[in-house]
């Protein structure tokens, strides 16, 4: 019989550089089946961490990119019409709950609140999912867990999780790793030497000081990796930083000047 989870298994270890006790904490939450909320700015490693943990725990990973057009049916499932009549199709949440996968709801605040409440019965002691249209009360598999992510600070007051949603989760805050660790990550992911990685990380640190002073957000680890990959591909460091860091993060000429100056200090 075909393994329905085959496509969702994480076969190779996704690289993760431990920065604190995140692996211990996530594992403890998993053992206790406490749903986990990962918070942190864009490009800080939330998705990579979930992939790594799914691999480490040997669980398949079902990822859902949430958006405001998403309905509860998109998560739960619906009847489809085909030549033989109607056929029920599990949505990703139901699929994960039925078969015992980790269900990762990325950017969960983007979903409307009436969609988000669909996860409530799965994220408390009940661990069930009522499939009302189908007349089924699905009991979640023992190995099912919900993980959600969001970027605090990007949301307006209108777009936040309800307390009744938040309070169902254990939360982990992700921030930028220390400079040596971040340089190690950039060197590993971009394939650049340690010295180049260190310089990129210094530029990143300068940009993060400009957060709230003209920049909405500092340069992320992801952007530093992009710059590193361009350099690795033969692009001169200044041009690589200009493309991967400066021009993508801001259109403001003064901010660009400030960032270009930081780039020139290090390259
Ligand atoms: N501790 C770490 N170990 C390994 N890689 C890391 C680590 N932290 C960050 N990264 C790297 O940063 C990149 C961006 O991380 P990721 O895509 O997981 O960010 P994210 O927090 O999910 O961002 P978004 O909120 O935009 O989805 C990854 O490709 C990964 O290479
Ligand atoms: Mg992500």
CATH code of 153's domain: 3.40.50.300
Shared domain for 132 and 110, answered yes or no, is: yes
d(CA 82, CA 6): 25
Q: Is 159 in the pocket of ligand 1 (CB under 6 A)?
A: no
> Nearest ligand to the C-alpha of residue 16?
1
Shared domain for 155 and 209, answered yes or no, is: no
Q: What is the structure's pLDDT at 158?
A: 60
Domain of 222 in residue numbering reads as 179-266
Instruction: Give tens-digit pLDDT for 166-219.
Output: 999 999 999 999 999 999 999 999 999 999 999 999 999 999 999 999 999 999
Instruction: Give tens-digit pLDDT for 12-65.
Output: 999 999 999 999 999 999 999 999 999 999 999 999 999 999 999 999 999 999
Q: What is the structure's pLDDT at 160?
A: 82
How many structural domains comprise the chain?
2
Q: Of 173, 201, 220, which residue constitutes the final position of a domain? A: 173
d(CA 18, CA 160): 29
Pocket test for ligand 1, best of 15, 43, 108 (most atoms within 8 A of CB): 43
Q: Is 15 in the pocket of ligand 1 (CB under 6 A)?
A: yes
CB 131, CB 77: distance < 8 Å? yes
Confidence of residue 227 (pLDDT cuts 50, 70, 90): very high
CB 63, CB 46: distance < 8 Å? no
Confidence (pTM): 0.95
CB 201, CB 245: distance < 8 Å? no
Instruction: Give tens-digit pLDDT for 121-169.
Output: 999 999 999 999 999 999 999 999 999 998 876 655 567 888 999 999 9
d(CA 186, CA 196): 9
Q: What is the structure's pLDDT at 84?
A: 85
């Amino acid at each position: 019989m075909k393994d329905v989870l085959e496509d969702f298994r994480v076969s190779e270890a996704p690289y993760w550089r431990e920065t604190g006790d995140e692996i211990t904490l996530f594992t403890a939450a998993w053992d206790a089946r406490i749903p986990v909320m990962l918070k942190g700015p864009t490009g800080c490693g939330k998705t990579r961490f979930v992939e790594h943990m799914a691999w480490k725990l040997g669980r398949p990973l079902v990822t859902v990119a949430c958006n405001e057009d998403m309905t509860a049916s998109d998560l739960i499932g619906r009847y489809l019409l085909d030549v033989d009549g109607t056929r029920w199709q599990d949505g990703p949440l139901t699929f994960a709950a039925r078969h015992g996968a980790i269900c990762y709801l990325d950017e969960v605040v983007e979903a409307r609140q009436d969609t988000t409440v669909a996860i409530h019965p799965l994220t408390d002691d009940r661990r069930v999912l009522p499939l009302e249209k189908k007349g089924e009360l699905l009991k979640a598999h023992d190995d099912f867990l919900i993980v959600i992510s969001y970027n605090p600070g990007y949301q307006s007051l209108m777009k936040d999780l309800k307390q009744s949603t938040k309070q169902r989760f254990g939360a982990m805050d992700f921030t930028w790793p220390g400079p040596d660790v971040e340089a190690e990550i950039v060197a590993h992911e971009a394939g650049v030497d340690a010295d180049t990685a260190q310089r990129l990380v210094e530029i990143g640190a300068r940009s993060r000081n400009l957060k709230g002073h003209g920049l909405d957000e500092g340069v992320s680890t992801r952007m530093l990796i992009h710059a590193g990959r361009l350099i690795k591909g033969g692009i001169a460091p200044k041009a690589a930083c200009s493309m991967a860091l400066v021009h993508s993060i801001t259109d403001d000429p003064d901010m660009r000047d400030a960032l270009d100056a930081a780039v020139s200090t290090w390259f």
